[in-house]
Amino acid sequence: MGKILECREICKDYGQGRLVTPVLRNINFSMESGEYVAVMGPSGSGKSTLMNLIGCLDRPTSGEILLDGALLKDCTDDQLADIRLRKIGFVFQNFQLLGDQTALQNVELPLIYAKVAGNERKKRAAEALERVGLGDRMRHKPNQLSGGQKQRVAIARAMVNHPELLLADEPTGALDSASGKQIMALFRQLNQEGVTVLMITHDAHIAEQAERMVFIRDGRLSEAGTEALGKEEEHDGEK
């Protein structure tokens, strides 16, 4: 299928002069189109920073990111915004829904930014909600929905523009275990339908449901399996 994403020697620092804090160090990472990959690491490891760089929400200090063949460092801010809109879908731990808007209106938002006409916009938003099993909740506002239903709305919103890449940052972190299982089943279904999924998580049980898992600690990335992760965590506990 070919590479959808490639990170080459990515570094990210915050601060200036003597107060520079390195967050990501020489990250090399790639994904094939149609893959389902989990990036696992503890809080403060740099995993959300990496997602922000891949999602065109920030720029690396050094290194290169290619997304669907486009070299991001050569893009203007407006071009990056267009890539975010048309090629990337975002799913966040806290849903990021507008409380005064219905589920349908929340899902319509990316289509409004993409200047899709009203009737087509409503049709596509309704289809996206049907796809995630919320056809009967389109007129409900977030305060009328459960946590799992809110995350389904967020996934529908992420998918409504048919993005090349779906980025999910701790998508089950605010959910109970039953709702979390339903959301993970939905991600598997979307991936089986051809959606490329990159998920950020600190939970090994969530990460191991992906096709491939990589591990990030102290800003460094490795292709570590669950057995290696367990040994590393045991070692940390002995210190």
Domains and CATH numbers, the chain: 3-238 (3.40.50.300)
Q: Quote the pLDDT of residue 224.
A: 58
Token pair 């993005």: residue = 163
Sequence-ordered list of residues with C-beta below 8 angstroms from that of 115, at least 6 positions apart, any chain: none
- Cα gap 33→20, rounded to integer Å: 35
- Cα gap 171→206, rounded to integer Å: 10
For residue 192, give the 3-state DSSP assignment. Answer: helix
Least Cα distance to 87 among 20, 171, 163 occurs for 163
Q: Which two tokens stand for residue 139?
A: 């007129």
Q: Which two tokens stand for residue 170?
A: 């701790």
Q: Quote the pLDDT of residue 223.
A: 82
For residue 216, give the 3-state DSSP assignment. Answer: strand
Q: Quote the pLDDT of residue 227.
A: 44
Q: Which two tokens stand for residue 210?
A: 């992906």
- Cα gap 23→11, rounded to integer Å: 7
Q: Quote the pLDDT of residue 44.
A: 87
Low-confidence ranges of the chain (pLDDT < 70): 1, 224-239
Q: Quote the pLDDT of residue 226.
A: 43
Q: Which two tokens stand for residue 156?
A: 């529908």
Q: Quote the pLDDT of residue 18.
A: 84
Q: Which two tokens stand for residue 105?
A: 């209106």
Q: Which two tokens stand for residue 66?
A: 């290619």
Are 215 and 203 spatial neighbours (Cβ–Cβ below 8 Å)? no
Q: Quote the pLDDT of residue 101.
A: 97
Q: Quote the pLDDT of residue 91.
A: 95
